């Protein structure tokens, strides 16, 4: 199991701040069926001086047994936000694990108006059933 302990994370890449907060969704989870549902809210803020356009996402999801799933795709929740300096975009999504603990991390591919691309880091954050051990 990864050593991540916080259900929140923040990373800044080239002026793009990505902050995440996760929580356990008890009413949608079925622990006896090994179904643990988590939600996470992401805030992507442009603290830099240039516009940035989010084109794709890449998530790496690791459950408590070390099983890794990678998710790649265009945009986030059906959007490819363009963020001018000082703007932000926030969304909530979810993840289902077979274990009561896990971790998510990843990147958003961002594009600048001049065509340059870079990966904005999504720092690792914990997915955990409250009061679960290890």
Phi first, then psi: give them for residue 80, nearest 5 degrees. -125, 75
CATH topology of domain 8-68+78-122: Immunoglobulin-like (2.60.40)
Residue 47, phi-psi category: left (phi > 0), alpha (psi -120 to 50), beta (remainder): alpha
Query: Over 90: is that where the pLDDT of 132 sits?
Result: no
pTM beyond cutoff 0.75: yes
Distance CA 6, CA 116 (A): 32
What is the per-residue pLDDT across 103-113, written as a single tens digit (0 to 9) for each? 999 999 999 99
Work out the pLDDT band at 131, boundaries 50, 70, 90: confident
Q: pLDDT per residue over 67-97, tens digit each?
A: 999 999 999 999 999 999 999 999 999 999 9
Examine the pLDDT at 2 and tell me if it is beyond 90: no
**Domain residue ranges in the chain:** 8-68+78-122
């Amino acid at each position: 199991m990864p050593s991540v302990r916080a259900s929140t994370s923040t990373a800044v890449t080239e002026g793009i701040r990505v902050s995440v907060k996760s929580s356990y969704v008890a009413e949608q989870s079925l622990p006896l069926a090994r179904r643990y549902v988590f939600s996470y809210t992401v805030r992507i803020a442009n603290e830099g001086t240039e516009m940035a356009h989010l084109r794709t996402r890449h998530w790496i999801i690791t459950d408590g047994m070390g099983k890794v799933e990678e998710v790649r795709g265009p945009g986030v929740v059906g959007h490819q936000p363009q963020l001018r300096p000082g703007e932000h975009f926030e969304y909530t999504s979810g993840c289902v694990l077979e274990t009561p603990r896990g971790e998510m991390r990843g990147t958003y591919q961002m594009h600048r108006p001049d065509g340059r691309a870079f990966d904005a880091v999504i720092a690792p954050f914990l997915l955990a059933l409250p009061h679960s051990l290890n």
